């Protein structure tokens, strides 16, 4: 029974890429109809459909994050995202117009992120730039691992100079590869989307971008250095037997994976969540209009209304974010 369920989940992953483009296009259509006040009823219908498709998209990602990536944070997040998207669709259909702001944000997020996910030349530029900067920071700490092209993770990366090579023990070789997920572009897209979605003076939007995007980029480099050195030098060999059991890998064959899962899947990903919360606070100080999105998220999580803008003394805005 379990094998059948996993087989079905794996089969659905093949639809994730084309579905992602369809989701972004549908969100964009709804956002344009709403932003320019062309037809609110049609905008509502299109955007509701976008959220339903978005829920299905996250369903196609469950197998990847939970069983391929073996990510606790991303796996749980994906499971929450499926019913969450459907709940947004229901609320928007029932007339919660403030959710148009969140919907516009998703449209912009997708428009920023998907080209880097799909266009190889953009991936190569960003991945190799982040690799060089990560290499430089490692050298400042006294580590100079070899950096080679090619990756078994993705055959498209064969010509990319993006893989660090470590030899923590005689005869044992560890490679750490920078992929598109290691560049921070996903997190940066989230904040670009949030900032672009609200109706506010462009000057304050640029200030919000200035306190978020550079911080995310810098913290992401620190994250790469931390994971790379912790994994490559096997610095986090914590409860190896339990770690191998939880993440289902052969401890005898790949003992270094203990450090990888602790550094990346547990510590770095948990730290990333906390960092995003802190960066959101910085953005709110410059652009309090984004609180309308946070209020909606709190309502969906708790079922209670919150007036964060009133509590912080922010001037009220229209339900649609104006």
Catalytic residues: 182, 223
- Residue whose structure tokens are 């509502």: 44
Query: Would you say the C-alpha torsion 217, 126, 20, 30 has a positive or negative sign?
Result: positive
Q: How far is 33 from 43, CA to CA, in rounded Å? A: 5
- Residue 198: name the closest of 103, 110, 112 by CA: 103
Chain mean position to CA 265:
14
Show the CA angle centred on residue 290, arms to residues 308 and 312, nearest 5°.
30
Helices (H), 159-238: 185-197, 202-232
Helices (H), the chain: 2-12, 16-35, 40-63, 72-93, 99-118, 120-140, 185-197, 202-232, 240-247, 257-260, 269-286, 291-302, 308-311
- Residue whose structure tokens are 């997040």: 77
Q: How far is 64 from 12, CA to CA, in rounded Å? A: 10
Q: How far is 278 from 272, CA to CA, in rounded Å? A: 10
Query: Would you say the C-alpha torsion 136, 139, 180, 74 has a positive or negative sign?
Result: negative
């Amino acid at each position: 029974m379990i094998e059948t369920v996993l087989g079905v989940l794996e089969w659905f992953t093949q639809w994730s890429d084309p579905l992602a483009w369809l989701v972004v296009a549908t969100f964009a259509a709804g956002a344009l109809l709403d932003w320019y006040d062309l037809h609110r009823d049609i905008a509502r219908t299109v955007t509701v459909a976008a959220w339903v498709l978005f829920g299905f998209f996250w369903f196609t990602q469950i197998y990847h994050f939970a069983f391929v990536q073996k990510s606790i944070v991303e796996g749980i997040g994906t499971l929450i995202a499926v019913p969450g998207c459907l709940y947004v669709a229901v609320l928007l259909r029932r007339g919660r117009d403030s959710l148009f702001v969140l919907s516009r944000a998703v449209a912009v997020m997708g428009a920023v992120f998907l080209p880097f996910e799909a266009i190889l030349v953009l991936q190569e530029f960003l991945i190799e730039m982040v690799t060089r900067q990560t290499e430089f920071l490692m050298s400042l700490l006294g580590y100079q691992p070899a950096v080679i092209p090619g990756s078994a993770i993705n055959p498209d990366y064969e010509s990319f100079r993006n893989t660090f090579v470590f030899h923590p023990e005689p005869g044992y070789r560890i490679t750490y590869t920078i992929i598109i997920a290691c560049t921070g572009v996903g997190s940066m897209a989230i904040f670009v989307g949030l900032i672009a979605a609200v109706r506010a003076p462009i000057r304050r939007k640029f200030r919000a971008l200035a306190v978020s995007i550079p911080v995310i980029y810098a913290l992401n480099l620190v994250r790469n250095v931390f994971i790379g050195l912790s994994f490559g030098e096997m610095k986090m060999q914590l409860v190896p037997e339990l770690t191998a059991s939880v993440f289902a890998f052969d401890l005898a064959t790949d003992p270094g994976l203990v450090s990888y899962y602790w550094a990346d899947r547990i510590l770095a990903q948990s730290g990333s969540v906390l960092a995003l919360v802190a960066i959101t606070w910085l953005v709110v100080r410059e652009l309090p209009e984004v609180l309308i999105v946070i209020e909606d998220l709190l309502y969906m999580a708790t079922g209670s209304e919150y007036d964060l803008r009133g509590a912080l003394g922010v001037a009220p805005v229209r339900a649609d974010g104006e």
